[in-house]
Chain A
Amino acid sequence: MAGPLADRTAIAGIGQTAFAKGLPDSELSLACQAISAALDDAGIAPAEVDGLAMFSMEEGREVDVARNVGLGDITFFSEVGYGGGAGCGTVGHAAMAVATGQCNVAVAWRARKRAAKGSRPWAQVNRRITGHWQWSRPFGLLRPVDEIAVLTRRYMHEFGATREHLANVAVAFRKHANRNPNATMHDKPLTREQYMDARWISEPLCLFDNCLETDGALAAVIVSAERAKDLQQPPAYVHAFAQSIPQQHQVMTNYFNDDPLLGPSYACAARLWAQADVTPADVPVAQIYDAFSPLIPLSLEGYGFCARGEGGAFTDDGALEWPDGRLPTNTSGGGMSEAYVHGFNLVLEGVRQMRGTSTSPVDGAETCLVTSGEGVPTSALLLRR
């Protein structure tokens, strides 16, 4: 049964910058450019913006964004933490704020530069490690890919997932990127053979199991459903929203509880579907957070598209591929083949699926699932046409 937030707000505008390695502009400038483009897309003047929701990791602060873009009096602002887990959370916070009257026009965004200070935290740690990282980093478990590789090896051991399954993910997303002129991998096909021959990054994960490192920014404008109906773009309604920090969860190195492979997706999904009047069987297209390929089978299980342990097999027979797969996923190329902007590009592709403007549009899709980071405190959205 639909929850109290269901379809009361909509994403009415989207905007993004170019995606590249080494864009000259600052993160703040990129954020302002994306927000400006999103407002133009919605046909809303900057002075009408009175709500902001952003990643805690954002370099440009709310006050700077507001002074640059010429926003109005801001009466709601919130930040969501944990990096890649935050994307859908910012949109959800904005939607709740609009629905409860804390603001009328809210903007959510992410700007990121791979070369910027803080964008690769694993390479910038102090030598003496405090907090929970002291239990992993001194032993050479340094990078996010290493942390997820530990879970991947265990997942393969427990459930029989294979590199062929991970290749299904990488190849499907690349095919979608090859159809998307804005994707950084638009002109670069990826074969299964290239995947299998690629160099290791952290065994059992190879180069093509990893997301890209991208400079770029994206933004979304959230307004009430009533307002959205009068604007120039077809609304993408926020049908349901959820976040989760599961019990005894530890960020990234989640090796210390009874069942580490029960990731944040499970708790997030339980809340999400409880707020929705659809089930996974009703969802024909998804944008699933893909910093690393194994997050896809884990998320497919967590969000209920298949039973536990069946996420690898789910990817067989082109299930993730547009147009004929059971669940075309990451139809713009996702973090692995379009751009890695902490997953916010997945939100915008979800909106394009609801508008029918994706470069790989799923015919008749009324609903799209969008998820944020698995392996960290996370969030998810169900968008509806």
Chain B
Amino acid sequence: MEAQFLLPDIEDPDSAEFWAGCARGELLVQTCKGCGLRRMPPRPMCPRCRSLEFRWDPTSGRGTIWSFIVPHPPLLPAYQELAPYNVIVVALEEDPTIRFVGNLVTEPDGAINEIDPTTIAIGDPVRVVFHRVEDVVLPRWMKT
């Protein structure tokens, strides 16, 4: 069933390091070597100092739910089979302007529809976990 899910191109030059970090169990964020600004999504140039030099810093892997939705059909087939499911947006603990879209799960390899959506609230604390699909490792989130 998961064979039909959409997956990121993990060889995308702007983001390959992020996906490689996920494969090692690390949630990384692109950080400017010139001025230290974190940026998400990753991109070649720092919008604050225009440096092209950057590094990938580890993060706490902790955050809070900034928003969430519960999609219902019509959806692409792989997702429709699981609907309704949750999609959350997480604000990183150490820099709430760095946000990640993901899913709230009960265990790293759990399904995205296992949590009762009425128990999800903005502000809930979460921590990152990782889930392999084929050659891709996706970040996901569990309540803390």
Residues of chain A at the chain B interface (Cβ within 8 Å):
123, 125, 127-132, 134-143, 146, 149-151, 153-154, 157, 199-204, 248, 250, 253, 255-258
Q: How far is the CB of A262 from chain B (nearest CB, A)?
A: 13
CB within 8 Å for A129 and B89 given contacts A139-B103, A142-B79, A203-B117: no
Q: How far is the CB of A9 from chain B (nearest CB, A)?
A: 36
CA distance A154 to B71 in the complex (A): 16
CB within 8 Å for A153 and B85 given contacts A137-B6, A146-B71, A202-B70: no
For residue A146, which residues in chain B have a CB less than 8 angstroms away from its CB? 69, 71, 87
CA distance A200 to B84 in the complex (A): 9
Beta-carbon contact of A201 and B72 below 8 Å? yes
Beta-carbon contact of A154 and B41 below 8 Å? no
CA distance A125 to B5 in the complex (A): 11
* Chain A residue, CB-CB nearest to B83: A140
Instruction: Check: B40 CB closer than 8 A to any chain A CB.
Output: yes
Which of A138, A153, A257 is B67 in contact with, Cβ under 8 Å?
A153
Beta-carbon contact of A248 and B6 below 8 Å? no
Q: How far is the CB of B45 from chain A (nearest CB, A)?
A: 13
* Chain A residue, CB-CB nearest to B85: A140
Interface residues of B in 39-76 (CB under 8 A from A): 40-41, 47, 66-72, 75-76
CA distance A265 to B47 in the complex (A): 22
Beta-carbon contact of B6 and A129 below 8 Å? yes
* Chain A residue, CB-CB nearest to B66: A154
For residue B66, which residues in chain A have a CB less than 8 angstroms away from its CB? 154, 255
Beta-carbon contact of A141 and B87 below 8 Å? yes
Instruction: Check: B97 CB closer than 8 A to any chain A CB.
Output: yes
- Render B114-144 as a binary contact track against A, CB cut-off 8 A, 1 for contact: 0001000010000000000000101000000
Beta-carbon contact of B8 and A138 below 8 Å? yes
Beta-carbon contact of A151 and B67 below 8 Å? yes
